[in-house]
Amino acid sequence: MKPEYIIATYVIYSLLLFAVSHFTSRKSNNDSFFRGNRSSPWYLVAYGMIGASLSGVTFISVPGSVGNSHFSYMIMVFGYLVGYLVIVKVLLPLYYRMNLTSIYSYLDSRFGFYSYKSGAVYFLLSRVIGASFRMYIVVNVLQYFVLDDYNIPFGLTVFLFMMLIQLYTMKAGIKTIVWTDTLQTTFMLGSVGVAIYFITSKMDLSLGALIHQVSESDYSQMIVGDWNEKRHFVKQFFSGMFITIVMTGLDQDMMQKNLTCRNINEAQKNVSWMSISLVPINLVFLFLGASLFLFANSLGVAIPEKPDHLFPLMAFEHMGLVAGIVFIVGLIAAAYSSADSALTALTTSVSVDLFDMEKRIDWDEAKKVRIRKFIHVGMSFVLLAVIVIFGSFNKDSVINELFAIAGLTYGPLLGLFSFGLFTKYKIKDQFVPIIVILSPIISYILKVNSEELFDGYKFGFELLMVNGLLTFLGLMFIRKKE
């Protein structure tokens, strides 16, 4: 597929997003940017959150991971459902009852200043790394398959990508993103359906025959029974549950969309329907991955060293022009769906949590808008730097890298919120930063030495639970005597 076609598709899609931004940003203010004026229809948020939940990681990395992990990821998806139930029944009522803009404000009212700032800092760290990973996977594909032909440096590619996102989210923030996410979800899911159609066509198979081939192959293996393996099904299930709680329920990026709904009932309805939809959608992505490997094997195509390159390789070089264009639209949609909301959420957290913008009665609205825009630009450059750094050493499938890092950075948030919700203890707030620094360090040491310490046991994504538990126990140690 000619690079010119890919670039043209990228430009046209970007112009479409700018058009949506123009119409949604009229009469916008800081409340529009942070909370969408609390006027978003729940079904619009639910549909758009599908794309935000999937992102470029699911679009590219889940199909690529099938080569090594088979369908074991599906067990994590079943765990997601339990995690979303906790969000619906426990976290959303809390956030709406307290009328929060930043969800980490809860830690301030429950424990105090140091807990609040520690939670906000860990979100910023987690989201900067997570968003950078998600954006890297898409930018890397564009770089590898298109821009390297023009000798354009990777850093410049990332810079242009971030500037485009910054421009269309600058004015209305989350109010614009609620609408653009619906476009991105549609194009992302549509491109997967088209890819499956072209695979069946090229392999001269009916959809039923392809499903049969996948089900009979080793790729469809879902259950891993060896307890020492990272992908043991019990570990996968509980990891999925807690990953959802922290990466959605305790994440400002994901929760900010829910907090734009008109009321708690609509927010709960939104999360419930969205969570149910993720089961068949993720199964389709895994099916696509297995189909891609079978298709590549049937053509004698060598599997790329980086599994994340398999989908774009087959789409660009072996499915034809139409499939390639549809793929690039889905890829761009996946990139924007994770990047724009992450940038907005990071701007919100820095503005509200670190600069205390909502409490600054000495700042007029115009000054608050100016400072928020300055923060917005600054966070763009932070993401740019992390993406470039990550690109210099990434070898594994990005989804594995993402969850591995999440186990370390989201664990303290899990421990803090769990302690706040399920105990009535007060704590010596000034010691919280020590606890939340030590917990990830101890968790990492346990992970690195787990095979020697625990008779061959390998930590997988369940390291998140260990990290959260260590934080919880640390908070017990600094609780105040009644």
Amino acid (one-letter) located at 314: M
Does residue 290 have a pLDDT over 90?
yes
Phi, psi of 27 (to 5 degrees): 55, 35
Q: Mean pLDDT throughout 257-274?
A: 84
pLDDT attached to residue 168 = 67
The per-residue DSSP string of 195-260 comes to HHHHHHHHTT--HHHHHHHHHHSGGG------TTSTT-HHHHHHHHHHHHIIIIIT-HHHHHHHTT
Residue 444 lies in a domain: no
Is the torsion defined by CA of 222, 226, 230, 235 positive or negative?
positive
Is 361 inside any structural domain? yes
Domain that holds residue 289: 3-397
Q: Which DSSP letter does residue 481 get? A: P
Distance of CA 366 to the CA centre of its chain: 32
Angle of helix 73-86 relative to helix 233-244, nearest 10 degrees, comes to 40
CB neighbours of 335 closer than 8 A, spacing ≥ 6?
56, 134, 135, 138, 139, 161
Residues 138-190 have pLDDT tens digits of 777 777 777 777 788 888 888 887 787 777 666 555 667 777 777 778 888 88
Partners of residue 40 on adjacent β-strands:
261
* Token pair for 178: 């609620």
pLDDT band at 212 (very low <50, low <70, confident <90, very high): very high
Supply the DSSP symbol for 319. S
Which residues share a beta bridge with 261?
A: 40
On whether residue 411 sits in a domain, the answer given is no
- Residues 82, 88, 94, 95, CA torsion sign: positive
More reliable by pLDDT, 14 or 444: 444
| Inside any domain, residue 71 | yes
Span of 31-35, 325-329, 402-406, 420-424 with lowest mean pLDDT = 31-35
Dihedral angle computed from the Cα positions of residues 251, 254, 259 and 264, in that order, rounded to the nearest 10 degrees: -90
What total of structural domains would you count in the chain? 1
Alpha carbon 53 to chain centroid distance? 6
pLDDT > 80? residue 134: no
CB atoms within 10 A of CB 140: 24
What is the spatial distance between Cα 6 and Cα 8, in angstroms, rounded to a whole number? 5
For residue 219, being part of any structural domain is answered with yes
DSSP state, 318?
A: H
- How many angstroms from the chain centroid is the CA of residue 237? 18
| CATH number of the domain residue 327 falls in | 1.20.1730.10
pTM, full prediction: 0.77
Confidence of residue 31 (pLDDT cuts 50, 70, 90): low
